[in-house]
Amino acid sequence: MMLAAYFGGPVSALAELAVVYIGRFLKEGAIGYVQMAIGITAALGTGLFYRYCRG
């Protein structure tokens, strides 16, 4: 996720998270709402961090 966020920003991090969630859904079944919220928050936070603090 961090590499995707570094190169593409928040949009790329969310796209990578979607791919991970699709794979996890196909393998394990349902995904909890809390887990989904934590993942989306992490993807947006990491993407915004690399967008504004790349130095």
**Virtual torsion, Cα 30, 44, 10, 14, nearest 10 deg:** 0
Name the residue range of residue 1's domain.
1-53
Helix (H) or strand (E) holding 42: helix 33-52
CA distance 1 to 7: 10
Q: Which two tokens stand for residue 20?
A: 């991970």
Give residue 54's pLDDT. Answer: 66
Give residue 44's pLDDT. Answer: 87
Give residue 55's pLDDT. Answer: 65
Q: Tally Cβ neighbours within 10 Å of residue 24.
A: 14
* Cβ 24 vs Cβ 16: under 8 Å: no
Query: pLDDT digit of tens for each residue in the chain (55 aa)?
Result: 788 888 888 888 889 989 999 998 999 888 888 988 998 898 888 888 888 886 6
- Tally of domains in the chain: 1
